[in-house]
């Protein structure tokens, strides 16, 4: 399992040394206000004052933070296209290409970034086109097996099936206080996708996302990748700094190995 940090916080990434990191607009905004990016929000306000559109400013901010992140993680930085465009294929394509071009201007190649697109029909069809252009996609906001299969068949590089948002929705709509891990509908959804992909030979990488608890991460230990917030990484790290999450047999693993040998 490749451990991914679900944050744009440079300090947290230095501390936990994940392979990859994932961002979204709210994580970018949080990160841009941290010390590691001092002055960036001021610069962004300047861009707005000089007449740049809000969309352009968001893109520039996203790529500025993303570029810094590529200097710290050895692997991929996931960068999200504004989810409000998720039902407009042409707009998604334009924004994905624009973000890629901005990264290239900063000296960051396509091989370091994944463009996050929501798992709508339009998002998946945009990914089909972008993948052919060498722009690798992370299909996000993915809540079921059907979306996962469609993304894999379109040739998406990676999918991010969500856990917590499914669990949250079930809790709210059924009035359930909490789910035991074995009955957690968010966990079950990712397990179903994982087993289907592995038994059908899909190459698309599965990265569990949207975790609410360490127990949810442990339940999916053994998934291809897991993107985990700094808070949960902190909860999962042992005193010796290692992430001692044992592979879970429900993910088809029977070993006593932990999800990573990396130092945390």
Binding letters toward ligand E4P, positions 101-130, x by CB under 6 A: ------------------------------
Which of 24, 167, 248, 260 is the binder for ligand E4P (CB under 6 A)? 24
CB closer to ligand E4P out of 24 and 67 = 24
Which of 70, 120, 210, 248 is the binder for ligand E4P (CB under 6 A)? 210
Q: Is 250 exposed, middle or buried (0-12, 13-18, 19+ CB in 10 A)?
A: middle
The DSSP secondary-structure symbol of 79 reads E
Buried (b) or exposed (e) across 34-45, using 16+ Cβ within 10 A?
bebbeebeeebe
Residues 94, 97, 103, CA angle at the centre, nearest 5°?
Answer: 140
If binding is defined by CB under 6 A, does position 189 make contact with ligand E4P?
no
Which of 2, 127, 209, 223 is the binder for ligand E4P (CB under 6 A)? 209
If binding is defined by CB under 6 A, does position 140 make contact with ligand E4P?
yes
Interacting span for ligand E4P (CB under 6 A) from 28-36, 55-63, 157-165, 246-254: 157-165
Least distance in angstroms from the C-beta of 51 to ligand E4P: 31
Strands 2-5 and 20-22: parallel
Contact 186, 216 (CB under 8 A): yes
Residues with active-site annotation: 116
């Amino acid at each position: 399992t490749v451990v991914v940090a679900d944050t744009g916080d440079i300090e947290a990434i230095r501390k936990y040394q994940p392979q990859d990191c994932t961002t979204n607009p709210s994580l970018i905004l949080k990160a841009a206000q941290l010390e590691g990016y001092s002055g960036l929000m001021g610069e962004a306000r300047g861009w707005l004052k000089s007449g740049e559109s809000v969309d352009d400013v968001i893109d520039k901010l996203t790529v500025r933070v993303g570029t810094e992140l590529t200097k710290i993680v050895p692997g991929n930085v996931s960068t999200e296209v504004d989810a409000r465009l998720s039902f407009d294929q042409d707009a998604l394509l334009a924004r994905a290409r624009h973000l890629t071009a901005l990264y290239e201007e900063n000296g960051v190649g396509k091989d370091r970034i994944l463009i996050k697109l929501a798992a709508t029909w339009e998002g998946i069809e945009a990914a089909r086109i972008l993948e052919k252009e060498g722009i690798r996609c992370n299909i996000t906001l993915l809540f079921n097996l059907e979306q996962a299969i469609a993304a894999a068949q379109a040739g998406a590089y990676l999918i991010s099936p969500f856990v917590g948002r499914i669990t949250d929705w079930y809790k709210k709509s059924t009035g359930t206080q909490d789910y035991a891990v074995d009955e957690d509908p968010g966990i079950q959804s990712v397990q179903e996708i994982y087993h289907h992909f592995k038994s059908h030979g899909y190459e698309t990488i599965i990265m569990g996302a949207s975790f609410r608890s360490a127990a949810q991460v442990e339940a999916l230990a053994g998934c291809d990748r897991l993107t985990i917030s700094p808070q949960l990484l902190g909860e999962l790290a042992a005193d010796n700094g290692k992430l001692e999450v044992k592979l879970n047999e429900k993910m088809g693993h029977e070993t006593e190995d932990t999800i990573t040998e990396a130092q945390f």
